[in-house]
Amino acid sequence: MKKAAKYLILFFALCMACGFCSAKSKETYHITLTIEGNNDTVMYMGHYYAAGNLVVDTAKRDRKGQFVFSGTKELKPGMYFFANPKGNYADFVVYHEKPFFKFKTIERNWTLNMEVEGSKENQLVYNYQRMIDNIYKEFENQRAGLDSATAANFYHTTIRSTIDSASRAFIKSNPNCMIAKVLMVSIPPEVPLLDDTGRELSNNERFYYMLDHYFDNIPLDDEMIIRTPKGVFYQHIMDYLDRALKGALPSDIIPRVDAMLDRCTPDGEVFQWLLLTCAQKYLQSNVMSYDEIYVHLILKYYANANWAEPSSIEQEVDRATKWDRLLIGREAPELIMFDTLRHAHSLHRMPSEYKLLVFWSPTCGHCKQTVPKLYSHFEHYADSLSLSVYAVLTEPDESTIKQWKNFLANNHIDNPLWVNLNGGEANIDWREVYDVQTTPQVYLLDGDNKILAKKLDGELFELVLKNLIKKK
């Protein structure tokens, strides 16, 4: 009996051991952090993501004084951090190595005193940071006795050049590690002064060369790049869109955004983020022609995105399809409505060289400010430009119609070339066709009913009219 009990105990011990090993083998990460002199009871682990960061795990101090992070969810490649509730932190990377790491440091300076087991990648991270710290220390005494202006110049000409040289040497020695690829992002493309024939390039040619090579050092096809601090990936993308491409025409922006997306892993995480970020940016833009970029991105890429929610795809494609019919250069859809005297008017048959189409309501505060300004500029330029107005009341209920008529009378909007139409009856569902979600909506058409401009307020309307007079 004792012998049977002994074997039974051994059997359960083996089962528990096997079960333990099986559970442990399912872990996708197991990271230990020890900080001598640290009194925190809890520690966070997270990663950077575009402009922000995300906490992915929390650990409490165990009996050994360690913080142990473990789990079965995959840690995606990128730059991670340990942080305590006080805001102290230290970075580390997850890249080509399985994240079963041990970190040990002291409270005084987590980063500079960090020791690593199980990760050559992270040894390089801390070696690089210690190298940069030593460079600063080497120049501290030399800079200490200088006045502020001289010290600033000394920093830019001496310390920065030394750091730059050291960083380039580090990259050359460790080209495939993640920290080297992150450092490469900050190195701008070298723009030549001469072309292949020895001809000096103009400033404009050099600018376009920079645009063409902007992403040479930014590995958009490496998914780790999105999980880096704000200044690495996110800021470079925003600088490209907001500064390098500022004021460019859609015909210039669209192929460059396409080229940027082509550099990404198809349908990968970086691709998805860039597509959604660009689409949202140009969806919300106040530049009248930039809706063309949004329409292009949605219909070319998002319409076929197997990674997006079907309801979201349907919503965006529906909007993009509507907007595609309303792009600058397209023929505005025909409208036929009745004025206050029940006379029918056709938008397409208005006998003028230019036509202003306005969707508005007297219950809209913005409309009440914009419409009188539009009317003032219309009256000033109507004769010289052969201009007429097709103004549609968007809330044709009984109460609003009274306010509408009072507003027109009080603001002396009575020019016969400014036609006021009741939107209650029309040949089409103009809300759907013109996607009138908010008011005012303002379009300027030419004599062939093609859209010349839109998203006009009073000031922009006047500017457009002045430019048309100059062209005449």
pTM: 0.88
Query: Is 331 contained in some domain?
Result: no
For 424, the domain range is: 336-471
Query: Is 235 contained in some domain?
Result: yes
Say if residue 7's pLDDT is above 50: no
Query: Is 381 contained in some domain?
Result: yes
- Return phi, psi of residue 85, to 5°: -60, -20
Say if residue 106's pLDDT is above 60: yes
317 and 367 assigned to the same domain: no
458 and 369 assigned to the same domain: yes
User: What pLDDT was estimated at residue 9?
Assistant: 41
Burial class (CB in 10 A: 0-12, 13-18, 19+), 153: exposed
Contact predicate 337/345, CB 8 Å = yes
In this predicted model, what pLDDT tens digit does every residue of 295-343 receive, in sequence order? 999 999 999 999 999 999 999 999 999 999 999 999 999 999 999 889 9
**Letter string b/e over residues 431-462, b meaning 16 or more CB atoms within 10 A of that residue's CB:** eebbbbeebbbbbbbbeebebbbbbbebebbb
Q: Which amino acid is at 137?
A: K
Which tokens in the block code for residue 111? 């980063």
242 and 287 assigned to the same domain: yes
312 and 405 assigned to the same domain: no
CA distance 53 to 49: 5
Query: Is 86 contained in some domain?
Result: yes
User: What pLDDT was estimated at residue 25?
Assistant: 59
291 and 405 assigned to the same domain: no
460 and 348 assigned to the same domain: yes
Instruction: Kindly write down the DSSP assignment for every residue of 169-227, as one continuous string.
Output: HHHHHSTTSHHHHHHHHTSPPPPPSB-TTSPBPPHHHHHHHHHHTTTTTS-TTSGGGGS
Domain stops at, among 99, 118, 137: 118
Confidence of residue 142 (pLDDT cuts 50, 70, 90): confident
169 and 42 assigned to the same domain: no
307 and 388 assigned to the same domain: no
In this predicted model, what pLDDT tens digit does every residue of 352-406 receive, in sequence order? 999 999 999 999 999 999 999 999 999 999 989 999 999 999 999 999 999 999 9
Position with higher pLDDT, 10 vs 412: 412
User: What pLDDT was estimated at residue 5?
Assistant: 45
Task: Select from 334, 349, 352, 333 the least CA-distant residue to 415.
Answer: 352
CA distance 425 to 54: 53
Q: Is 231 helix (H, G, I), strand (E, B) or coil?
A: coil
Lowest mean pLDDT among 149-158, 269-278, 354-363: 149-158
Supply the angle between the helices 291-300 and 250-262 in degrees, to the nearest 10.
30
| Sequence-ordered list of residues with C-beta below 8 angstroms from that of 64, at least 6 positions apart, any chain | 34
Question: What H or E segment, with its residue span, contains residue 234?
Answer: helix 234-239
Q: Is 9 helix (H, G, I), strand (E, B) or coil?
A: helix
Say if residue 13's pLDDT is above 50: no
113 and 142 assigned to the same domain: no
Domain stops at, among 90, 118, 146: 118
User: What pLDDT was estimated at residue 19?
Assistant: 46
CA distance 284 to 249: 16
Our count of domains for the chain comes to 4
349 and 395 assigned to the same domain: yes
Query: Is 429 contained in some domain?
Result: yes
Percent above pLDDT 90 for the chain: 87
Domain stops at, among 118, 144, 173: 118
Lowest mean pLDDT among 137-141, 292-296, 377-381: 137-141
Position with higher pLDDT, 5 vs 178: 178
- Helix, strand, coil percentages (3-state) for the chain, rounded to 5, are 45, 20, 35
Query: Is 10 contained in some domain?
Result: no
| Sequence-ordered list of residues with C-beta below 8 angstroms from that of 117, at least 6 positions apart, any chain | 101, 102, 104
Query: Is 442 contained in some domain?
Result: yes
345 and 465 assigned to the same domain: yes
User: What pLDDT was estimated at residue 10?
Assistant: 41
277 and 345 assigned to the same domain: no
Query: Is 193 contained in some domain?
Result: no
Mean pLDDT, the chain, rounded, equals 92
